[in-house]
Amino acid sequence: MRLKKLRKERGISQLKLAMDLNMNQNSISRYENEVRQADYATLIKFADYFGVSIDYLLERTDNEKMNG
């Protein structure tokens, strides 16, 4: 998952991301290190937050743009 890459490119800390999305910083770390897989609702939160498609977030495409 490109979560860590997106977060770092935008200069956002794990804590800020967690606070913005009403999540726990440990969860963000686990998703970034692939210790835990995000559920569908969480993937939507991340994609919406960064303005990218879920496919881009999951490295299924190199096109960041969301369809629609």
Structure tokens, 67: 């369809």
Residues with Cβ < 8 Å from 25, sequence gap 6 or more? 14, 15, 18
The whole-number pLDDT of residue 49 equals 98
The whole-number pLDDT of residue 67 equals 63
* pTM as predicted: 0.91
* pLDDT tens, residue by residue, 6-63: 999 999 999 999 999 999 999 999 999 999 999 999 999 999 999 999 999 999 999 8
Half-sphere exposure of 40 (CA within 13 A, CB side): 0
Domain residue ranges in the chain: 3-57
| Superfamily classification of domain 3-57 | lambda repressor-like DNA-binding domains (1.10.260.40)
| pLDDT over 90 (residue 68) | no
Give the helix ranges, DSSP H, for 3-59: 3-9, 14-20, 25-32, 40-50, 54-57
